[in-house]
Structure 1
Amino acid sequence: MKLEEIRKMTAEELEKNLKDLREELGNLSFQHRIRPLEDTSRLKKIRKDIARIETIKMQAVN
């Protein structure tokens, strides 16, 4: 997800997207513990997207 896309989102969209990404991260990490994933880079991408959204949220508050 690109930074410009995140900045264009409303607060409600950010919260929904953040919730979905955290849920997906939990599911993928659980699956990875049971059986190695084919694309482990997806975990890293999701963590980075979560960090980007959190950063934009914090900048909006300040």
Structure 2
Amino acid sequence: MKPAEIRELSDEALAEKLKEGRAELFNLRFQMATSQLDNTARVKTVKKDIARVLTEQRARQIAAANAAAAE
């Protein structure tokens, strides 16, 4: 998922993407441990997607705090 796509999502959609990403990462790690994972690069991709979502959530928190402090 690209950063531009993540910025367009609502707060609820970001939370859902984060939940889905963490669940997928858990499943990928489980498959890796049992030697059933075919595409090991997928783990890295999912981790980056999770980080992007967390970064956007934090940026929104900071922007909200700055807006509240400006008032």
Could you state the TM-score of these two structures normalised by the residue count of structure 2?
0.84
TM-score normalised by the chain length of structure 1: 0.96
When the two chains are superposed, the root-mean-square deviation of aligned CA atoms in Å is 0.8
Are 1:44 and 2:44 counterparts? yes
Within 5 Å, which residues of 2 pair with 1:1-62? 1-62=1-62
**1 or 2 for the larger relative contact order (CA 8 Å, sep ≥6)?**
1
User: How many residues are matched?
Assistant: 62
Structure 1 runs of 4+ aligned residues shifted over 4 Å read none
Long gaps (5+) in structure 1: none
Residue 52 (structure 1) shift: 0.4
Cα distance in structure 2, aligned partners of 1:36 and 1:52: 27
Distance 2:17 2:23 in 1: 10
Where do 5+ consecutive residues of structure 2 fail to align?
63-71
Q: Give, in whole Å, the separation in 1 of the partners of 2:4 and 2:14.
A: 13
Select the structure of larger CA radius of gyration: 2
